[in-house]
């Protein structure tokens, strides 16, 4: 191709066009990554406040601190911090 667009067009014709991500991925994501000190009450407050303010929240991302401290590979809720995860 003569242009980068031409080259890209030929390349993606050969290898396949990328899929459009699901619609929810373009929405608002909220995370706990900005803090290491949170519990079930804090997370519920974050989510409830978004709903109360009519702010659409598509994804809530928990960082590793929902698991037992220094045991971040067994994917078990820390019952001290999240006694009733839902």
Distance in angstroms (rounded) separating the CA atoms of residues 31 and 29: 7
Can you give the pTM of this predicted structure?
0.65
70 or 42, greater pLDDT = 42
pLDDT for position 38: 83
Contact criterion met (CB below 8 Å) for 67 and 80: no
Digit-coded pLDDT (tens) for 9-59: 999 999 999 999 999 999 999 988 877 778 899 889 999 999 999 999 999
């Amino acid at each position: 191709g003569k242009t980068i667009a031409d080259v890209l067009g030929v390349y993606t014709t050969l290898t396949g066009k990328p899929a459009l991500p699901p619609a929810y991925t373009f929405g608002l994501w909220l995370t706990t990554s900005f803090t290491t000190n949170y519990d079930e009450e804090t997370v519920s407050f974050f989510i409830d406040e978004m709903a109360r303010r009519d702010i659409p929240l598509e994804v809530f991302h928990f960082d590793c601190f929902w698991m037992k401290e220094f045991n971040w590979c067994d994917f078990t809720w820390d019952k001290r911090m999240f006694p009733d995860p839902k």
